[in-house]
Amino acid sequence: MTLLELQRQMSDDVRRSLDANFDMQQMREDGRSMSEVAASYIRPNPELSSFQRLEIYNRQYWFRVISAVSEDFPALAALIGSKGFDALVLAYLRENPSVSFTLRNLGSRLPVWLVDHPEFEPKNRHDLVVDVARLEWAYVEAYDRAEVTPLTLEDFSGLDVDSTLSLQPHLQLLTLRYPVDELVLAVREQTPASEMSSNAASELTKKTQPKLPAMRRTPIHLAVHRFDNSVYYRRIDPGAYLLLRALQERKPLGESLEIAFAGSAHSPEEQVEKIREYFAHAAELGWFCHRPADAIGVQ
């Protein structure tokens, strides 16, 4: 076996998924014993067999990636429970292994994946679980996506119905079925930063079990954004959400306003006042910006 072949072999074995008990699998997909595989390139020592020595690396790899996902979803872990959450993340990562140079992106597909995997969740809480995951990933995006120079008053002076406006890349717009901003904030307030990681396979015992607020189905619209290097959750009314979403999709200003007030019960005068309110609020927070083509990614 060449050095390159050895490196590839060990990489494959270390990244091989753990079993349901968070131990290294006994058999490979081709039916070969993992004890036999480990013995082919790892020497045993007086304390550990070749299998046990390889298992240390296999388990630590998975504990690290599970922990990386867990750090981004502390409220989801609190809602599902530690052991259930670790099993959920392991199943998720089996189907969505790391394909990036950074652990930051590991949880990017979790909210969408959860839509079709209710088996890990508390009974009748599927929509709530998905909403929590969506909000916690929006926090990650808002925290580290780019911030572009905001528009000035002079920039607004030449706008007409055919103009398009850009929104800050860090601004995340969500329609949620539950007021999960309350739940997520409650978990973050009650959980020390040092405990916001997975207890994968009971390797880490959480000292704090957050008290979760009661959740009743109450649809909300939420803007998740960064301001002065902190992330904030801001509830907005349906009209503001529809306007900002349309602008975010690069629709012209006139069309975006029509979308925002389609079917509205507001009088024309009230609509004008609402438009002023929406624009003043968004401009004050710097949400409107110049958007160079390369400014949409992570900072």
Structure confidence at residue 290 (pLDDT): 85
* Mean pLDDT taken over the chain: 89
Q: In whole angstroms, what is the distance from residue 243 CA to residue 255 CA?
A: 9
**Over the stretch 105-151, which tens digit does the pLDDT of each residue have?**
999 999 999 999 999 888 889 999 999 999 999 999 999 999 999 99
**Over the stretch 200-257, which tens digit does the pLDDT of each residue have?**
444 444 456 788 999 999 999 999 999 998 999 999 999 999 999 999 999 999 999 9
SS (H, E, C) 76-97: HHHHHCHHHHHHHHHHHHHHCC
Q: Write down the pTM of the prediction.
A: 0.85
Could you identify the residue written with the tokens 């140079």? Answer: 101
Binned at pLDDT 50, 70 and 90, residue 296 comes out as very low
Structure confidence at residue 208 (pLDDT): 64
Residues near 158 by beta carbon (within 8 Å), at least 6 away in sequence: none
Binned at pLDDT 50, 70 and 90, residue 100 comes out as confident
Cβ contact 281:239 at 8 Å? no
**Over the stretch 160-196, which tens digit does the pLDDT of each residue have?**
999 999 999 999 999 999 999 999 999 988 876 655 5
